[in-house]
Chain A
Amino acid sequence: MENDVMEQEKADALQLSAPSELSEIEKAESVLGIDRSLFEEPKFWSLQKKRFIKYRKVLWFIIPAALFSLIFSYIPMLGVVFAFKDPGHFNLYRYDLWHELTNGYWTINNFGNIFNDKFFVSVGNTLLINVIKLVICFPLSIFIAVQLSELKSQTMAKVVLIVICIPNFLSWAVVIATWAGLLDGDGGALNTLLVTLKFNSPNHPLMQEAGLYKFFVIFLSAWKGAGWGCIMFYAGIIAIDKSFYESATLEGANRLHKMWYLTIPMIIPTIALMLVLNISGMLATGLEVVLPLFDMILADEAQLTLDVYLYDITIVNQNIPMAATLGVFNGLVGLTLMIVGNLVTTKTLHRGLW
């Protein structure tokens, strides 16, 4: 009895919602066999489902990257909480993590304590190195990519590209050791040449000159990374439709014109992307280069960079709260720089990350 009533209510409801009669358009659609649902915006989840089914094979490629990000980028972010622990009551040697997280002693003073002399010296050095790298190394990669694209022989271009990319596959330890050997004051091949050409005095090993520390960080970064850095730009250039160049030739453009008015504008999106990514890393110099070079060149605290400073706090002093604080600070500044960089490139180059 109760079921009968419910069935009747359902039938009434359907009757109410159904159109009393079909419109002319709907009749036409019906006659032509057009499925109206095809023109309706699909629901969000059904769209995701369709996409998932369609691209399910591609997703396998994303899983490792996603896991990598999760394990090495997102899970470590839980450590941000250490930035608010009092270093004077934080002892992971004697007590376990849970004890340290639950014993109180929370503080915000760490964010004040990081602003000391070493911090300002290291931020200054880091920014100086990165600004110079941005001004020199970044355009250098674009320059190399453009020059490679101008080579008539594609085979030669590829050979050159492979050769200049080789340093990128060497570890920093090998790179530094190689250059240290070349510039060794006692028989280094390059040093001997420099001495012979009177560019260096006989008893003056360049890679022990603390004043040249920043120079070597920049120089070695350029030497190692310029080839690899140009790949993105080179890929962007070879993807440009050749008909544009043919048209430009017909219009009377010479190679320089084509390079300046066609090639570079066409890779502006890539340049913008790479620029924003470079700007967001302004507070990082790469520990793997600065630390061995720091020791090799016998640099002093006046040459400190943020990475070395953070290494000292974390590994040497084992001051986890301060290291976390500096890490949080670096992360926030990096994020801010990325946003600012994106705003700037959007305004000036009309391209950005989002």
Chain B
Amino acid sequence: MKKAAAILLAGVMGLGMVGMLAGCGGGDDNNLDDNPNFVAVDPFERGTGRDDDLINWNADTSTPIEIQGLYPEMGLGGLDVNTSDTAKIIEKTTGYHVQYSEIVGTGDDQVRNSLMNRDPFNFMKLTSAQFTEQLENETFLDLTGLLTNTPQGRKLKELIGLMDYGWDSVTYTDTKGWTGIYAIPDFGYCMMEDSALIWNNAHLKEIGYVNEDGSVKIPSTLTEVTDALLKLQTKFGSNTNYHAFGIGGENSARVTPFMSAFDCPIEFGVDDEGKIQLYIYDDSVIDYAEYMNMLKRKSVLSASWQNSDAAKLCSNFADGLYSCVYMAYWWVTPLINATVAKGTLANDLGITNDYQTVHDDGVSWNTRIRADGYSWTNDVTGVTYTAPVHEKAKLHGGDDGVSYYTAIPYYMADQALNTIDFLAKKLENFAAYYGGEEGTHWNRVDAPAGAPDISKWEEDNFCMRPYEDYKNKIIFMDPYSYETVDDDGNKKTVSGGGYWIQLTDRYISQIADNSQYCNGTNRVEAKVLFHLRETGFDAWSVTVPMDDTVIRNPMSMMPPLRSWSNVNILSRTKALRGIAAAMSAEKGNAAAMIENTRAGLKTDNVKVGNTKYYYWSDAIVTEMTSWFTQVKPGWKQN
């Protein structure tokens, strides 16, 4: 027995020694610092795809097959994704019956397992992280040949109609040097302010934020906002469960109105040398983190904010335990409903406790805060911080251009032509399902009283609404017109809009939340029909014009760069957690924690094969800067 044990121990130790020796000699820790991978290649010029030999080019597209689609969580509430109006319209207009499956939550593991199991999905609609991490695995079909050599593919490409570099976002050059197009992109067509600070009007009145006419004065500058939050905390803070400001969890650590007030980039910034840097490396992030840390240490921000969520924000706001919450426009309706159900706010204000009155008079919101040089001192370190001075409130954009990627697993190549046919038909009928049907989901109405003269409206201002009647759900649908080709390849003109419409209740219940049904974006129809959506959501005007106060993410529409793809999700998570940790820092050492995170991003790495990919490295900076300088010359940060 003892002999056997001794042999086993010797074996384990021997194996360990061999392993350690092997590790010493065999670890080819190539980092990519001197090896930029971005290669400016247009695969459309080549016209062939890596996986062309797997594709059944003679597939019969005249008879629609059943399509299996994997989608992100649809968020349709009680609606069945397979029987909603949207699903029915898609089937009616394309002829294809689709079986919809949803990814639960973020679902990265679900996607990986599904791909490894070869689940027979004709396509998968994925997030950037889910898409990019698979590119080196060659999991997705190279669509170059399909988009170039088939009428369906060409139509799809034309309807998406991206700008010159737009297809870069789905173009990848792998380690073998092959450049291909691996997805159909859903892209943004306008800057959006999807989240805002929502205030309890009764509480604002109690601390004296009242205009001369008796209406509530909404804090709009950084000084006013800070003053209001601190006064609210003093006023109601005797209840230890009360906090003036609520944020819905760690993923909301980047409070855009505050970050923009400090001139923080939301995703990527350009440094003094013109190089792309992750937002956390911008100096302004320390000011932001110190500011939020100050709010937290004064109990304005709950210490439990990292484990909170939007549902908790709604209930605490309704209970009067938060006076101001930061949340997205699609949460406005649940927030108002919860507040009405409680009745406290209406009672405090002496207004009727119904949805519309509370919506109109009980709450206020602002999407931007104007920086006015507000200054404060960290009472632990003694360092004084000062916010910049902005003439107009600014907005830094965090969108990366492409929100979702529709990719076809390589093992479904035999049905790929049918899938592309379906996607093209779907994009051709984009308006029908994205905006709903006239007579069912909206009706034409006369211009409402007080509406401006639409004839003077310039189409270029499509991101700004001339007039929206949220209460009656009346909006002007911009006129649109574009040319495409029919099934026989003949040119045809598609047009619509140019009239006032009123949304029906069925639009609200069936169509307003249907964004996740999209696969690819019809560039013309999407920008017109989105405005119906924001009217339906009963919040603020989400889309914003590209004026001088809007700063876009310099890396919007960025391609899936090799050095970044492998660490994309890890790096973003670490940076976000670093910001959150700095905001929550107990000892007022927010700046030090940001510095720690910056250092950690440069040392933490993931090893893929024999290559180490650092969370943030010179290789990433070089790759990103290379693409950025090529496609966006003359871009300015501020």
Mark A residues whose CB is within 8 Å of B.
Answer: 86-89, 91-94, 107-115, 180, 184-187, 192, 195, 202-205, 207-208, 296, 298, 300-301, 315-319, 329, 332-333, 335-336, 339-340, 343, 354
Chain B residue with the shortest CB-CB distance to A328:
B15
Interface string of B1-34 (1 = CB under 8 A from A): 1100100110110011011111111110000000
Find out whether the CB atom of A93 lies under 8 angstroms from the CB atom of B19: no
Find out whether the CB atom of A186 lies under 8 angstroms from the CB atom of B302: yes
Find out whether the CB atom of A112 lies under 8 angstroms from the CB atom of B21: yes
Q: How far is the CB of B22 from chain A (nearest CB, A)?
A: 4
Interface string of B601-613 (1 = CB under 8 A from A): 0001011111100
Find out whether the CB atom of A111 lies under 8 angstroms from the CB atom of B19: yes
Of A93, A111, A203, A336, the residue contacting B302 (CB under 8 A) is A203
Q: Is B481 interfacial (CB-CB < 8 Å)?
A: no
Quick one: which of B457-495 are within 8 Å of A by CB? none
Find out whether the CB atom of A186 lies under 8 angstroms from the CB atom of B304: yes
Of B26, B304, B581, the residue contacting A112 (CB under 8 A) is B26
Most interface-central of B16, B115, B586 (chain A CB within 10 A) = B16
Given contacts A87-B609, A186-B241, A298-B580, contact A93 B303 (CB under 8 A): no
- Write out the residue numbers on chain A whose beta carbons fall within 8 Å of the beta carbon of B1: 354
Find out whether the CB atom of B27 lies under 8 angstroms from the CB atom of A113: yes
Q: How far is the CB of A110 from chain B (nearest CB, A)?
A: 8
Given contacts A94-B139, A186-B243, contact A112 B15 (CB under 8 A): no
Mark B residues whose CB is within 8 Å of A.
Answer: 1-2, 5, 8-9, 11-12, 15-16, 18-27, 108-109, 112, 115-116, 134, 137-139, 240-241, 243, 250, 296-297, 299, 302-304, 306-307, 316, 321, 410, 577, 580-581, 584, 586, 604, 606-611
8 further A-B pairs in the complex, CB-CB below 8 A; given A89-B609, A185-B303: A88-B609, A93-B138, A93-B139, A94-B139, A111-B19, A113-B26, A208-B304, A315-B112
Chain B residue with the shortest CB-CB distance to A109:
B26
Find out whether the CB atom of B27 lies under 8 angstroms from the CB atom of A336: no
Most interface-central of A91, A186, A298 (chain B CB within 10 A) = A186
Of A113, A187, A333, the residue contacting B607 (CB under 8 A) is A113
Find out whether the CB atom of B240 lies under 8 angstroms from the CB atom of A192: yes
Q: How far is the CB of A49 from chain B (nearest CB, A)?
A: 29
Find out whether the CB atom of A208 lies under 8 angstroms from the CB atom of B9: no
Find out whether the CB atom of B26 lies under 8 angstroms from the CB atom of A339: no
CA distance A336 to B584 in the complex (A): 43
Find out whether the CB atom of B307 lies under 8 angstroms from the CB atom of A180: yes
Given contacts A88-B610, A184-B304, contact A108 B243 (CB under 8 A): no
- Write out the residue numbers on chain A whose beta carbons fall within 8 Å of the beta carbon of B240: 192, 195, 202
Find out whether the CB atom of B27 lies under 8 angstroms from the CB atom of A94: no
Find out whether the CB atom of B299 lies under 8 angstroms from the CB atom of A112: no
Given contacts A93-B116, A94-B137, A185-B302, contact A332 B15 (CB under 8 A): yes
Given contacts A202-B240, A205-B304, A332-B12, contact A108 B250 (CB under 8 A): no
Chain A residue with the shortest CB-CB distance to B138:
A94
CA distance A315 to B116 in the complex (A): 12
Given contacts A88-B610, A195-B240, contact A186 B23 (CB under 8 A): no
Chain A residue with the shortest CB-CB distance to B108:
A316
Chain B residue with the shortest CB-CB distance to A335:
B8
Most interface-central of B139, B302, B303, B304 (chain A CB within 10 A) = B304
Of A92, A107, A108, A300, the residue contacting B116 (CB under 8 A) is A92
CA distance A81 to B303 in the complex (A): 48
Find out whether the CB atom of A115 lies under 8 angstroms from the CB atom of B23: yes
- Write out the residue numbers on chain B whose beta carbons fall within 8 Å of the beta carbon of A108: 18-19, 22
- Write out the residue numbers on chain B whose beta carbons fall within 8 Å of the beta carbon of A205: 303-304, 307
Find out whether the CB atom of B139 lies under 8 angstroms from the CB atom of A112: no
Find out whether the CB atom of B15 lies under 8 angstroms from the CB atom of A111: yes
- Write out the residue numbers on chain A whose beta carbons fall within 8 Å of the beta carbon of B243: 186
Given contacts A93-B138, A93-B139, contact A115 B307 (CB under 8 A): no
Chain A residue with the shortest CB-CB distance to B26:
A109
Find out whether the CB atom of A109 lies under 8 angstroms from the CB atom of B22: yes
Q: How far is the CB of A124 from chain B (nearest CB, A)?
A: 16
- Write out the residue numbers on chain B whose beta carbons fall within 8 Å of the beta carbon of A333: 12
Q: How far is the CB of A213 from chain B (nearest CB, A)?
A: 14
Chain A residue with the shortest CB-CB distance to B134:
A93
Q: How far is the CB of B98 from chain A (nearest CB, A)?
A: 24
CA distance A110 to B20 in the complex (A): 9
- Write out the residue numbers on chain A whose beta carbons fall within 8 Å of the beta carbon of B610: 88
Find out whether the CB atom of B9 lies under 8 angstroms from the CB atom of A336: yes
Q: How far is the CB of A323 from chain B (nearest CB, A)?
A: 13
CA distance A180 to B309 in the complex (A): 14
Q: How far is the CB of A111 from chain B (nearest CB, A)?
A: 3
Find out whether the CB atom of A339 lies under 8 angstroms from the CB atom of B303: no
Of A203, A315, A354, the residue contacting B303 (CB under 8 A) is A203
List 4 A-B pairs, minimum CB-CB distance, nearest first. A112-B23, A111-B19, A88-B609, A109-B26
Find out whether the CB atom of B116 lies under 8 angstroms from the CB atom of A112: no
Of A111, A315, A332, A340, the residue contacting B22 (CB under 8 A) is A111
Find out whether the CB atom of B23 lies under 8 angstroms from the CB atom of A113: yes
- Write out the residue numbers on chain B whose beta carbons fall within 8 Å of the beta carbon of A115: 19-20, 23
Given contacts A186-B316, A195-B240, contact A93 B18 (CB under 8 A): no
Chain A residue with the shortest CB-CB distance to B611:
A88
Q: How far is the CB of B353 from chain A (nearest CB, A)?
A: 24
Of A111, A296, A317, the residue contacting B307 (CB under 8 A) is A296
Chain B residue with the shortest CB-CB distance to A183:
B304
Of A86, A112, A187, A207, the residue contacting B241 (CB under 8 A) is A187
